[in-house]
Structure formats: C-alpha cells, structure tokens
Structure 1
Amino acid sequence: MVFVDRLLSALVHLRHGVTHDVLACWFGVDRSTITRAIGEIRPLLAERGCTISPGVRLRTLAEVIEHLGASGQTGIIYGTEIRVRGRPLDARTATCSSPGRTSRTPSKP
C-alpha cells in the first residue's frame, strides 16, 4: 500500500472504528496488510501529538475535560449530535403499543 492509503486506512479505523477486515476489503488487500499499516501510522501520528489512549473510554463531555486536564493536554472535539431512542423511565409502567397484542391476564366477567 502507498503511504496515502496506509494513512487513510489508519485514520478511518481510528475515527470510525472500522474493522481491519472491512478496510482490507475496501483497499483490496489482506487483513494483515491493514494491521501492519495501522501499526506503522499510529506512532507517526503520536510523534505529532495525535494519540488515542488505549483502554480509555470517555462517555461524557465532563469525562473528556477531566481526562485532558489531568494529562495537561488539549483536544479537538468532533461534536455531531446523534439521535438515540431512550428507554422509558420505569419499564414496569410502560405500555406495549404493538397492534394486535392482547392482555395475558384473563378478563373478569
């Protein structure tokens, strides 16, 4: 793979979490080639201050700010809003709205 393809595959993997298998299909190479390319590119990015800490999963903005402050780093946040359907607050009181469903409790005469 040429350098640009190795860089692109590494960035797509790091940004979107695309698996090595999928990237291998996209670039028409073997999975091991993608693994090696990402392994070569990550240190180059790290030398320039672009690192992803292994095992760190930050779920809220407060966690990101705390993590960056503790390490003395600055960060760039990509903040696209994604709509997510939430669960009802109390599952016991939620009603089922599926059509044709009847109660399993026998009705009283």
Structure 2
Amino acid sequence: MATLVHLRHGAAHDVLACWFGVDRSSITRAIGEVRPLLAARGCTVAPGLKLCNLAEVVDYLGADGQSGIIDGTEVWVRRPAAGARTGRSSSLGRTSRTQ
C-alpha cells in the first residue's frame, strides 16, 4: 500500500513512515521490493519515453491496445520573487556597459 501511495502521490518516505507507523527504512525497503514486481506486471513506461501531452499518451497506448492510468496530481510551483534573477537571462554574468 505504501508503494502505491508513494507512486500515486509522490509522498516522501518519512511521511509514509509516520502514516503507517513504521521506520523510514521499512518504507524504503518495501518500495524497493514492490516496484520491480509492478514492473514485471507491465506497470511501466519504456525508459527514455517522454509523453508530453494527452494525444501522445493516447497514441502510445492505442498502438498496442493497452490501457493506462494518468496521474493528474496538481503540482504547486513557487514563483520567483519579483525582480529575482532566475538564471535564464542571456545577460547573466556579463557586466553592463553604459556609454
């Protein structure tokens, strides 16, 4: 059960350990044992395969007549502070010249 909760919700091992009342190492070991069993049953996506939108997922699953589960978990992303440099500017590291 802990493995499924971890895979579905991305819960940290510490959180799962508290929830199930066991040590963190027990959760880590259980996940390490159950994930290969799920993979052996075909609960995987091919390594290196990146499906970027729903159409690609449908095409991928439809090719072999497979069914799939889509994780629609919302992920919150913190916005950078106003005026903060994000490292994406092409002028980073350059000194400005005023003439």
Alignment of 1:19-38 (within 5 A): 19-38=12-31
Give the letter for the 2:41 counterpart: R
| Equivalent-residue separation in structure 1 for 2:11 and 2:48 (angstroms) | 17
- 2:8 matched to 1:15? yes
Give the letter for the 1:76 counterpart: G
Instruction: In structure 1, list runs of 5 or more residues that go unmatched.
Output: 1-7, 83-109
Post-superposition Cα deviations, 1:25-55, rounded to whole Å, max 9, x if no partner, equal 1011121211110010011111211125567
Please, what TM-score do these two structures have when normalized by structure 1? Answer: 0.51
Please, what TM-score do these two structures have when normalized by structure 2? Answer: 0.55
Alignment counterpart, residue 67 of structure 2, candidates 51, 60, 75: 75
Q: How many residues align?
A: 75
If you compute each CA radius of gyration, which structure gives the higher value, 1 or 2? 1
Give the letter for the 2:40 counterpart: E
Give the letter for the 1:16 counterpart: H
| Equivalent-residue separation in structure 2 for 1:35 and 1:55 (angstroms) | 24
Distance 1:25 1:53, change over 3 A: farther
Aligned match of 1:104: none
Instruction: In structure 2, list runs of 5 or more residues that go unmatched.
Output: 75-99
| Equivalent-residue separation in structure 2 for 1:29 and 1:54 (angstroms) | 32
Aligned match of 1:106: none
Percent sequence identity is 64
Question: 1:69, CA displacement in angstroms?
Answer: 6.1
Question: 1:61, CA displacement in angstroms?
Answer: 0.5
